[in-house]
Amino acid sequence: MAEPFIRLEAVGKTYPTKDGPVQACSDVSLEVRESEFVAILGPSGCGKTTILKMVAGLVPHTAGRITVGGRAVDRPQTDVGIVFQEPVLLDWRDVLANVMLQIEIRGLDRAAHEPAARELLRATGLSGFEKKKPYELSGGMRQRVSICRALVHDPPLLLMDEPFGALDALTREQISMDIQRVWMEKRKTALHITHSIPEAVLLADRVVVMSARPGQIVGILEIDLPRPRRLDRLPPLFADYTNRIRDIFKARGVLAMD
């Protein structure tokens, strides 16, 4: 068996606060295979975003061990693409320039990477908007720009922190389809944080279910659905997976039984 691309071994995180330590998550052990799409699903405050930030090296873990690509994570990772909850675009730069900011910051060759940027914009439905400023775009379009920016340097790992959280339901569905299409083309290892059960089942190869804080893994479901998955042609098994996840949350008191 190949070495997992991401490995968390008994990982925990405790934040110091003026009122005393707060344990965000504890004893989290997880292996993610190369090119696998894994969704981490849980209630607000369960530490799922903390897990993503620890994998990225943006937040140090206080217990356990994390490796990415066989190397211990003890500092911010550079060979990664991150999509945050907000697009975080520069208002004075147009769409293409915002995507290419990743290339400029890394000191990479612009001419060599601009075709990839334009192709990503095409794949996410943004062809023809290259010269538009962020304020001329809808919320969903701005988030698509941030996805392109995260992928333009061709990182092996894509981390997404509830990127659809601020979007309306129809836009969420469309961007979910965009993410699936791009992932199927690029086959990046993907870690996706969400609190939406249908979204997790729609996108992921496996869904990791977290308890309330301090977050622990209380279930992992293999999602055996054919790709590409279409919202208008979901098989009955899709509802079975979502119900199984809801049952886990109900058993933990996260969802009310009535």
Res. 165: pLDDT tops 90: no
Torsion of CA 232, 233, 237, 238, to 10 degrees: -30
pLDDT in tens, 202-252: 999 999 999 999 999 999 999 999 999 988 888 999 999 999 999 999 998
Pair 40, 164 in one domain: yes
Q: Which of 136, 154, 172 is the last residue of a domain?
A: 154
Query: How crowded is residue 127: how many other Cβ atoms within 10 Å of its Cβ?
Result: 11
Pair 54, 117 in one domain: no
Pair 7, 122 in one domain: no
User: What does the alpha-carbon distance between residue 114 and residue 99 come to, in Å, rounded to a whole number?
Assistant: 9
Tokens 């208008």 belong to which residue? 232
Pair 27, 144 in one domain: no
Query: Which residues, in sequence order, are bridge partners of residue 206?
Result: 38, 222
pTM: 0.93
Pair 164, 258 in one domain: yes
User: Strand pairing of 71-72 and 63-68?
Assistant: antiparallel
Q: Which of 131, 154, 177 is the last residue of a domain?
A: 154
User: What does the alpha-carbon distance between residue 4 and residue 137 come to, in Å, rounded to a whole number?
Assistant: 39
Number of domains in the chain: 2
Pair 58, 135 in one domain: no
257: pLDDT confidence band, cut at 50, 70 and 90?
very low
Pair 56, 97 in one domain: no
258: pLDDT confidence band, cut at 50, 70 and 90?
very low
Pair 65, 99 in one domain: no
Could you tell me the CATH number of the domain that includes residue 250? 3.40.50.300
Q: Which of 121, 154, 187 is the last residue of a domain?
A: 154
**Mean pLDDT in residue range 34-63:** 96
For residue 48, the enclosing domain spans 1-80+158-258
Query: How crowded is residue 258: how many other Cβ atoms within 10 Å of its Cβ?
Result: 2
Whether residue 117 contacts residue 99, with contact meaning beta carbons closer than 8 Å, is answered with yes
Pair 212, 166 in one domain: yes
Pair 248, 172 in one domain: yes
Pair 58, 35 in one domain: yes
Query: Which residues, in sequence order, are bridge partners of residue 53?
Result: none
Tell me if residue 135 falls in helix, strand or coil.
helix
Pair 16, 135 in one domain: no
